[in-house]
């Protein structure tokens, strides 16, 4: 059963002050009338309609001015939301208009109905977004929202420090050898030792003297014969 009432306050989805609407009799009796949100439609109550219209005009003008100022301020803000995400940046869950409204209240002390935050679909990825705000039938604005991971990034593994170079006891720096060079040198030394061991040892003999080649040494100058001693005087 329906009954006709006059609204005394703005009710979203139903109407504003001075509007005459039909609602369920139980809804009017149990909710609207006890909370003074509406009055029954009677001749006596119709006299209040003009006063309700005046109050409605004043309320709407105040809301328009307030939302216009809010639109200018909100457009300069960046609302940051921290969410849990994996190492690949994939979020655990999604960001809704209700979460954004809560952060606006927490970060900037702005009370905004979540229904004024327009989302085509919940946000499911990290990044920065620009959302539309429908603050008033004649006032719209934008809000920048940055979704960041609350999980600390894993620190990159540090490369192990190089081991200190071993030094010989005398303090000298060991000589590095080219790859393969030391092996060939060791093999040559080993082969030389083997040949030396196989060769028979020669007896200790006087070294043979070879005649000097001609021209190696200067020819000896013949000395004049010694003069014979004079005979003793007779």
Domain of 20: which CATH number?
3.40.5.10
Residues 102 and 137 in one domain: yes
Our measurement of the distance from residue 190's CA atom to the centroid of its chain's CA atoms, rounded to an integer in Å, reads 60
Count how many domains the chain has: 2
What is the pLDDT averaged over residues 162-169? 60
Residues 78 and 139 in one domain: yes
Residue 180: HSE in the Cβ half-sphere, 13 Å Cα cutoff: 0
Domain for residue 208, yes or no? no
| Selection from 165, 182, 161, 183 nearest residue 174 by Cα | 165
Angle, alpha carbons 155-99-97 (nearest 5°): 125
Domain for residue 187, yes or no? no
Domain for residue 199, yes or no? no
Chosen domain end from 91, 120, 149: 149
What is the pLDDT averaged over residues 116-131? 91
Residues 76 and 139 in one domain: yes
**Percentage of the chain surpassing pLDDT 70?**
65
* Residue/partner pairs of 199-204 with CB below 8 Å, 24 or more apart: none
pLDDT at res. 73? 94
Residues 107 and 140 in one domain: yes
pLDDT at res. 215? 47
For residue 22, what are the β-bridge partners? 4
3-state secondary structure of 169: coil
Residues 40 and 89 in one domain: no
Angle, alpha carbons 160-162-168 (nearest 5°): 150
Beta strand ranges found along the chain (DSSP E): 2-7, 20-24, 38-40, 78-83, 90-95, 117-118, 123-125, 127-136, 139-149
Confidence band for 208, pLDDT divided at 50, 70 and 90 = very low
CATH for 76 = 3.10.430.100
Residues 80 and 127 in one domain: yes
What is the pLDDT averaged over residues 10-38? 92
Domain for residue 35, yes or no? yes
Domain for residue 8, yes or no? yes
Between 227 and 64, residue with greater pLDDT:
64
List the domain range (segments joined by +) for residue 18: 2-47
Residues 91 and 127 in one domain: yes
Domain for residue 6, yes or no? yes
Distance of alpha carbon 105 from alpha carbon 99, whole angstroms: 10
Task: Supply the mean pLDDT for the chain.
Answer: 78
pLDDT at res. 68? 95
What is the pLDDT averaged over residues 93-120? 92
Between 12 and 54, residue with greater pLDDT:
54
Domain for residue 105, yes or no? yes
Is 128 in contact with 146 (CB distance < 8 Å)? yes
3-state secondary structure of 152: coil
3-state secondary structure of 126: coil
Chosen domain end from 88, 115, 149: 149
Confidence band for 44, pLDDT divided at 50, 70 and 90 = confident
Chosen domain end from 124, 149, 174: 149
pLDDT at res. 62? 94
Confidence band for 206, pLDDT divided at 50, 70 and 90 = very low
| Selection from 89, 81, 94, 83 nearest residue 154 by Cα | 89
């Amino acid at each position: 059963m329906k009954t006709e009432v006059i609204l005394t306050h703005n009710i979203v989805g139903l109407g504003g002050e001075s509007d005459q609407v039909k609602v369920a009799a139980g809804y009017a009796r149990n909710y609207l009338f006890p909370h003074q949100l509406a009055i029954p439609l009677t001749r006596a109550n119709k006299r209040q309609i003009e006063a309700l219209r005046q109050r409605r005009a004043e309320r709407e003008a105040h809301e328009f001015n307030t939302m216009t100022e809010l639109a200018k301020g909100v457009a300069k803000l960046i609302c940051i939301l921290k969410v849990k995400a994996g190492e690949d940046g994939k979020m655990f869950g999604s960001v809704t208009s209700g979460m954004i409204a809560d952060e606006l209240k927490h970060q900037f002390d702005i009370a905004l109905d979540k229904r004024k935050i327009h989302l085509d679909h919940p946000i499911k990825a990290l990044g920065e977004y620009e959302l539309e705000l429908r603050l008033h039938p004649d006032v719209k604005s934008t809000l920048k929202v940055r979704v960041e991971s609350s999980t600390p990034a894993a620190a990159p593994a540090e490369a192990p420090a190089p081991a200190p170079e071993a030094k010989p006891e005398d303090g000298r720096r060991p000589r590095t050898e080219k790859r393969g060079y030391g092996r060939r040198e060791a093999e040559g030394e080993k082969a030389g030792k083997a040949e030396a061991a196989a060769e028979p040892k020669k007896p200790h003999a006087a070294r043979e003297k070879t005649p000097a080649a001609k021209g190696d040494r200067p020819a000896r100058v013949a000395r004049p014969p010694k003069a014979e001693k004079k005979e003793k005087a007779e």
